[in-house]
A = this chain, B = another copy of it.
């Protein structure tokens, strides 16, 4: 089995330097997570962007769609900021023959107690088990694209009808 991974930035990849610099989106953490978890499958990490997801544009989403469409791998995992993850997932709907699963994190992967490792695990488990389509794995729940939103106040994702 091989999973093709696209990284768009977001909280999962946020790093911190010191008093002057606050935070910034760093290099993709998903490879580190898979290495630490002793993942026994092939994967390729494609670093697409290092953006806070609030700054993603329609062009960014079109570019991601084009890259995934051109990728022969049927199993696609996307790491992405949480604020507009639902929008980007929707923008990838309709690509035949591919199971595309988005995930990210509510606290940076480099934090103690981050949800990043669990979330990537959840996405990896789902991507190889689901039929073709676009999904979001957050808070341990597999949501279908187009039927999910982030509830900022509650700090979690939820189904929307």
Q: Chain A interface (Cβ within 8 Å of chain B)? A: 1, 10-11, 14, 16, 18-20, 22-23, 33-34, 36-41, 52-54, 81-83, 106-108, 110-113, 115, 117-126, 128-130, 137-142, 152, 155-158
Contacts and interface: CB of A to CB of B under 8 A. Distances in A.
Given A121-B125, A126-B126, A129-B130, A141 B40 contact: yes
A139 B83 contact: no
A12 to B, nearest CB: 10
B142 A121 contact: no
A63 to B, nearest CB: 20
Contacts of A157: 40
- State how many copies of this chain the complex holds: 4
A155 B18 contact: yes
A125 B141 CA distance: 7
Given A18-B82, A152-B20, A37 B125 contact: no
Nearest to A43: B140
Contacts of A22: 22-23
Contacts of A141: 1, 39-41, 128
A58 to B, nearest CB: 18
